[in-house]
Amino acid sequence: MAGDGDDIPRSEFGVRVLGVRKRFKGVTAVDGVSVDIRRGEFFSLLGPSGCGKTTLLRIIAGLETADEGAIVVEDRDVTHVPAHRRPVNMVFQQYALFPHLSVGKNVAFGLRYCGVPRRERAARVARALEMVQLSGLEGRHPDALSGGQRQRVALARALVLEPRVLLLDEPLAALDQKLRKEMQVELKHLQRRLGITFVLVTHDQEEALTMSDRVAVMNAGRIEQLDTARRAFERPATAFVADFMGAGNFLTARVVQRDGAIVMVASPAGYETVLLAGEDVRTPGAAVRFVVRPERLRLVPTEPPASAARACMEVTVEERLYQGVATTWTVRNTAGERLTVYDPNDDAQAAEEFVVMGKAWVCWDPRDAVVV
Amino acid sequence: MITRDRTTSIFQALPLWALLGTLLLLPVGTLVRESFRAPPEDDEAADLVVYDRAMTHYQAAVAPDAMKVYWRSCWVGVLTTALTLAVGYPVAYFIAIVAKPRWRNLLLIAVAIPFWTSLVIRTSAWKLILGTGGPIDLLSRALGGGAFDGTATPTAVIISLVYCELPFMVLPIYASLEKLDRTLLSAAADLGASPGRAFWRVTWPLTRPGVLAGCAIVYIGSAGQYVIAELMGGNKFPLAGSWINTYFLGEAPNRPRGAAVALVVMAGVLGSMVALGLLAYAIGHAIRAVASVVGEAVSRSRARYTAADTPAGDVAIMGILKRLAGLKTMTWLVMLFLYVPILVLVVFSFNDGRSQAVWRGMSGKWYAAAVQNADVARAVKHTLTVAAGSTLVSAVVGTLAGLALAKRFPGRKATAGLIYVPVVIPEIVLAVALLTALSAVPWGQTAGGLVLAHATFCTSYVALVVRARLAGFDRTLEEAARDLGAGKLATFWRVKFPLILPGILAGAILALTVSVDDYLVTAYVRPVGFDTLPTYIFSKVKGGVTPEVNAVSTLMLVATIAIVLAGAWVGRGRRTS
């Protein structure tokens, strides 16, 4: 698998999006986006509805034309190539199975445009169905299939054509929780086995985390962070990404001292800590905003002894939500900032120590703080 | 890629414009020009209404005597519309909301079947019932009350009109009701509305489009009426339609004057419809205002909750159940109303006697006679050839137009409006326009010309059905096909066409039956001596209904129903999502 550096030879790219811009009636859906997706990578476009991820996917598929910019699929400029001639196939959100054709005919649909002779088609269809664990269902009709089965047929129909790139438009959105989790794992294994580039669109950050090698978090037509899934989750680059990935505990403090890239900050909420800060917030007196993920905050009943290994502050407990696996606490510090603490229920009586409207202390490891 | 789609749509819409443009729009323009020409030399033979020959045609068209006729037609229109609405809405409501889903399709077909039979046949059934020798007459004589002939009365015309127009009111209202979200009614009940209130505040406003469509169709159909009045009462009860007819097919034709009258009538029908619509709107507002004031006063004097624990849902259900008894009975009565005349027609076709007036016992001889009758055979052949030709033309043109209308393109709104023109014009004006167009070309008044004339109004049906079918079409199926490698043509042929085929067939069957049943346009445009079944039956019934004609009518009825049921069966065969 290719490394993370920029010194990758050009032919290593599965899809290159170059400065693509798309407007719909005055609304800019995709605002000058550029991204290089590596060959054989499982890449996700992640973001809320309306951020432009589906539009971008459709532009790659050829179902929409960009107003500006180019699309290159494995060294071939396909910007002006119509959809039916691109080496790219898509799995649609509602599957788009042809209702008047059987499963077998659905899967075989595109084979005649690949130059596959008639005799071979049945074998290819059988192999594709086996790949998605639906062997033997050639004769069924789409309306006699369950949601999960339909999804697999849509997958088989696309994969039987052996595309260079597979595009998936929120493929798991219509499935129930349990099935979705199973399919996430299956898709990941499938991609590994086939070794082709997968580009997935989703609004579910957990899905992106489970399956992707890298992820592009999009907002209002732009990419806010392009990174491995893990880094987007643990070290969000912007406030939007932090909030979208569930890291929305925003804290603000003022710079007291600085030492190169490291600053010491203090807050009226009563804590002092050190942070790795960017260029623009290094001057003493400057306000720095940072986030700490809910599961990285620890709630303790009494003031812990001072230590360089952690930052602590006093809070009032506002709400408690028991959720089985964990308890989510909403607390507020003396500066009025509200935080969420995620506390796994891994010991029997810990949760009983805290009282709503009572006082407690919240601590975190300074290394878990991310400036946004 | 987007511009190419638009161009395709424009090309798809062109045939429709060519057909309707030359056969309808152009002729209406020609009518205008015609209405300013001088009358033919020899028009001494009396007009129906005597007036000064020096008057221009338009002056004649709006002379006081003319206005009387228009006023009468307007009243006929209003009465018919009101009656069909009063009867049709409850029936539609019953079928859409109260009846069990299993029965719905059956009930709809039952309401629609009379529509599929020729106007001429249906009217002759009523002429039979209300006239000499019919069941009422026979009964009256048997009871010693003397002869009974109710045919040449306004009541007879209205009854026949209601009979013929009822399906046109029920079906649009049913379509509106079917789309109604039932949970809205539950929500209304939950929020404190009684079933009656829920109807007025939720159901009625949401079904208004269907009601308006139904009223428009019925009003235009009945105000411009000609055939029924002619068959029933002849000249004793002239309506606007029959008046126009005298200028074109009467003994002393005066086409320019007829053109003027036709245009005035068309404008009048549409204008009066709009005026009446606005009047109804204003009245509705006034009623609502009064009702809310009264309602406020009443509810203030009454406690909000009566019995402490009747859940709102139960109240709604009980209310519906109470209405069920009334609605069901009404629907049954209407079904009887729709089918008894047909039954009577069939029964009387077995009358052994020659004349209608005397019942001589059962005999199938008229059927034998009908089958061997050379005139009948020829009429059947003509009917079928014309119908086949016009169905083919309208299927192609209509499908293309329906396809075009599914996408945006310049001229889309105009094309959508164009489809409705043949439906919105009173049929007599349509016939006059087609006659004007086709008599201007040497090949016009032939079987071929007749085919085109039929296609003019049949195409609209196909286009509307195909368009409706396409409305629910899943666009992503086309995208998936393109993604999988199919070009535009392959995508259409392998994906779109198979899925809209049931719609095309349904539209084609509709077009076929409308063409087979048509009387008026055929009467106007046909070459001399070229009879189709409806014109044959009309000429025979005018003099009086006889068992022989009844036999022919019954045969035609059976054939039409067979076609429709076959079509419905084919349509059910394929399930598409």
Q: Quick check: B432 and B524 in contact, CB under 8 A? A: yes
Partner-chain contact A94 B486, CB within 8 Å: no
Q: Inform me whether the pLDDT recorded for B150 exceeds 70.
A: yes
- A111-122 per-position pLDDT tens digit: 988 888 988 999
- Give the Å distances, CA to CA, from A160 to A114, A139, A194, A372, B164: 10, 17, 12, 44, 58
ipTM: 0.79
Number of CB atoms found within 10 A of residue B527's CB: 12
Q: Is A115 on the interface with B (CB under 8 A)?
A: no
Distance to chain B for A6, nearest Cα, Å: 32
DSSP A10-75: GGGEEEEEEEEEEEETTEEEEEEEEEEEETT-EEEEE--TTSSHHHHHHHHHTSS--SEEEEEETT
Q: Among A329-333, B137-141, B356-360, B442-446, which stretch is predicted with the lowest mean pLDDT?
A: B356-360
Residue A8: is its pLDDT beyond 60?
no
Q: Which of B483, B492, B494, B497 to substitute to test the interface with A, most A CBs within 10 Å?
A: B483
Report pLDDT for B555: 85
B480, A96: Cβ pair inside 8 Å? yes
Phi-psi region of A280 (alpha: psi -120 to 50; beta: other; left: phi over 0): alpha
In this complex, which of A61, A99, A112 lies closest to B483 when CB atoms are compared? A61
> What residue of A is the nearest CA neighbor of B495?
A98
Q: Determine the pLDDT at residue B359.
A: 65
Q: Which two tokens stand for residue B227?
A: 């055939």
Contact list, A62 vs chain B (CB under 8 Å):
482-483
Within 13 Å, how many C-alpha atoms sit on residue A209's CB side? 12
Share of chain A above pLDDT 90, in %: 65
- Domain borders along chain A are 10-235, 250-371
Structure tokens at A330: 């909403």
| Set of chain A residues whose Cβ sits within 8 Å of the Cβ of B485 | 84-85, 110, 112-114, 161
Span B237-244, mean pLDDT? Answer: 80
**How far is it between the farthest Cα atoms of chain B?**
85
Q: In this model, does residue A215 exceed pLDDT 90? A: yes
Q: Is residue B107 part of a domain?
A: no
Minimal-distance CA residue of chain A relative to B479: A63
Residue ranges making up the domain that contains B453: 1-23+373-545
Whether the per-residue pLDDT at B188 is higher than 90: the answer is: no
Return left, alpha or beta for B311; rule: phi > 0 is left, psi -120 to 50 is alpha, else beta: beta
Assess if residue B130 is contained within a domain: no
- Give B480→chain A minimum CA distance, Å: 6
Q: Is the pLDDT of residue B574 over 60?
A: no
Confidence check: pLDDT of A189 > 60: yes
B404 has pLDDT over 70 = yes
How distant is the Cα of A189 from the closest Cα of chain B, in angstroms?
24
CATH superfamily of A10-235: P-loop containing nucleotide triphosphate hydrolases (3.40.50.300)
Which residues of chain A are within 8 Å of residue B499 when distances are taken between CB atoms? 99-100
Cα separation of B381 and B373, whole Å? 12
Number of compact structural domains in chain B: 1
The answer to whether position B34 is within a domain reads no
Beta strands in chain A (DSSP E): 13-24, 27-38, 42-46, 68-73, 76-77, 88-91, 165-169, 197-202, 214-219, 222-228, 250-259, 262-266, 272-276, 287-291, 298-300, 311-322, 326-333, 338-344, 359-364, 370-371
> Which pair of tokens denotes residue B54?
């020096």
Q: What average pLDDT does chain B have?
A: 80
Top-ranked range on mean pLDDT: pick from A129-143, A247-261, B40-54, B549-563: A129-143
Beta bridge partners of A70: A18
Residue B41 has pLDDT above 70, yes or no: no
DSSP letters spanning A65-91: --SEEEEEETTEE-TTS-GGGSSEEEE
Please report, for residues A166, A229, A239, B452, the alpha-carbon distance to residue A46 in angstroms, rounded to integers and kept in the order given: 16, 10, 15, 58
| Residue whose tokens read 């020609």 | B30
Range with the lowest mean pLDDT among A156-165, B245-254, B430-439? B245-254
- Residue A100 with chain B: CB contacts under 8 Å: 498-499, 574, 576
Kindly tell me the burial class for residue B265, based on how many C-beta atoms sit within 10 Å of its own C-beta (0-12, 13-18, 19 or more). buried
* CATH number, span A250-371: 2.40.50.140
Q: What is the CATH number of the domain that holds B470?
A: 1.10.3720.10
Using an 8 Å CB-CB cutoff, list chain A residues near B479: 63, 83, 92, 96
pLDDT digits (tens, 9 = 90+) for A25-75: 889 999 999 999 999 999 999 999 989 999 999 999 999 999 999 999 998
B485/A143 Cβ within 8 A: no
d(CA A210, CA A184): 7
Backbone angles phi, psi at A310, to 5 degrees: -150, 160
